[in-house]
Chains A and B, each alone.
Chain A
Amino acid sequence: MMDDTRSAETPEVARELGFDPKMLEALVCPQTQSVLEYDAAAQELISRSAHLAYPIRNGIPVMLVDEARRLE
């Protein structure tokens, strides 16, 4: 079984399970409900109005204010 070797940490799987930018159409900032910008390099979703950057980990957006990076 291939299943045993799969892990979200391996680079192949991380690519395969990469964030789908189509999801952006559905997502808004949970604090301000404004649109988000996708920073592919940093793997972050930026909310300008809340000054927050939400991380995307293993292709899964983490839309929690407590987990977001505060923007200067």
Chain B
Amino acid sequence: MDDKTTHFGFETVPEAEKAGRVQGVFGSVASKYDVMNDVMSMGIHRIWKDAMMDWLAPRKGQRLLDVAGGTGDISFRFLKRAGEAHSTVLDITEPMLVEGRKRAEAEQMASSLDWVVGDAMALPFEDNTFDVYTISFGIRNVTRPQEALNEAFRVLKPGGRLMVLEFSQLPNAAMQKAYDAYSFNVIPRMGKLIANDADSYQYLVESIRNFPDQETFLQMVKTAGFENASYRNLSLGIAALHSGWKI
């Protein structure tokens, strides 16, 4: 009997249920996802994504796998910076990809983009396929994040680079408390106001609070096999970038 459980926000749910419930959340917010991100983070998610690109330094001819790539935000940035490159956007939620493909950038860059519905824990790609793997605000929604990291390692070519952008933990209790007060009180209400969906945004803040801190996640990156693994805090640790190399 397999009765393993995982987190769904603050709820404990059977592992088998998590993917479906995550699809429910993102399917329901897909059309308002971009505007909600802007409102929730007061535009700061754009600065974080640019910081991600600064560290990643996309190069011409690289092949990116953009997991949990949803509406294409990371891929568009990557392709603009790289000049000529290719990106495969993978997401478990079909409506997010449909939204992404409708965006103007997707049309302009159509020949450099593929869109695939798939599971980060069972990627539909051969070993040693990609130069770069990114997952931005996605890995905390994966049922078993360690398995997603292991899969990232598998599909990257030797010399390939992992880059994870995710909400993280603030360095001291007082700051964390202030941030929690904001996120638990303000974000679900804004979710109700803008997307008419407080529950989905309640899930988002709970899942952020539940995600491993910087040092714990760093160990997970190393466990997957990555070398030269390190991280950088963004906005004092509200988010963090994790980097690792497959050598």
Chain A residues within 8 Å of B, Cβ to Cβ: 3, 6, 8, 17, 20, 23, 26-31, 33, 57-67
Complex Cα gap A61–B94 (Å): 10
* Structural contact, B118 and A26, CB atoms closer than 8 A: no
- Measured between C-beta atoms, what is the minimum distance from A30 to chain B in Å? 4
Main secondary structure on A side of the interface with B: loop
* Structural contact, B115 and A64, CB atoms closer than 8 A: no
* Structural contact, A27 and B125, CB atoms closer than 8 A: yes
Complex Cα gap A23–B115 (Å): 9
Complex Cα gap A38–B125 (Å): 16
- Measured between C-beta atoms, what is the minimum distance from B16 to chain A in Å? 10
Q: Contacting B122 at CB < 8 Å: which of A17, A23, A27, A30?
A: A30
Given A60-B115, A63-B116, A64-B118, residue A8 in contact with residue B98 (CB < 8 A): yes
Query: Which residues of the partner chain A approach B32 to less than 8 Å between Cβ atoms?
Result: none
* Structural contact, A63 and B118, CB atoms closer than 8 A: yes
Query: Which residues of the partner chain B approach A33 to less than 8 Å between Cβ atoms?
Result: 126-127
Given A6-B102, A26-B88, A26-B114, residue A60 in contact with residue B97 (CB < 8 A): yes
* Structural contact, B92 and A64, CB atoms closer than 8 A: yes
- Measured between C-beta atoms, what is the minimum distance from A40 to chain B in Å? 17
Query: Which residues of the partner chain B approach A31 to less than 8 Å between Cβ atoms?
Result: 122
Query: What are 21 A-to-B residue pairs whose CB atoms are below 8 Å?
Result: A3-B102, A6-B102, A17-B101, A20-B114, A26-B114, A26-B125, A26-B126, A28-B124, A28-B125, A30-B122, A33-B126, A33-B127, A58-B98, A60-B98, A60-B101, A61-B116, A61-B124, A62-B117, A64-B119, A66-B19, A67-B117
Query: Which residues of the partner chain A approach B97 to less than 8 Å between Cβ atoms?
Result: 60
Query: Is B129 close to A, CB under 8 A?
Result: yes
Count, chain B residues at interface, CB 8 A: 22
Complex Cα gap A51–B88 (Å): 25
Main secondary structure on B side of the interface with A: mixed
- Measured between C-beta atoms, what is the minimum distance from B127 to chain A in Å? 8
* Chain B residue at minimum C-beta to C-beta distance from A9: B98
* Structural contact, B114 and A30, CB atoms closer than 8 A: no
Contact with A along B5-19 (1 / 0, CB 8 A): 000000000000001
* Chain B residue at minimum C-beta to C-beta distance from A57: B94
Complex Cα gap A3–B106 (Å): 13
Complex Cα gap A27–B19 (Å): 21
Query: Which residues of the partner chain A approach B118 to less than 8 Å between Cβ atoms?
Result: 30, 63-64
Query: Which residues of the partner chain B approach A23 to less than 8 Å between Cβ atoms?
Result: 114, 116
Complex Cα gap A28–B154 (Å): 13
Complex Cα gap A8–B119 (Å): 23
* Chain B residue at minimum C-beta to C-beta distance from A29: B124
Query: Which residues of the partner chain A approach B94 to less than 8 Å between Cβ atoms?
Result: 57, 60, 62
Complex Cα gap A43–B101 (Å): 19
User: Other CB < 8 Å A-B pairs besides A6-B102, A26-B88, A30-B118, 6 of them?
Assistant: A27-B116, A27-B125, A29-B124, A59-B115, A60-B117, A63-B117
- Measured between C-beta atoms, what is the minimum distance from B147 to chain A in Å? 12
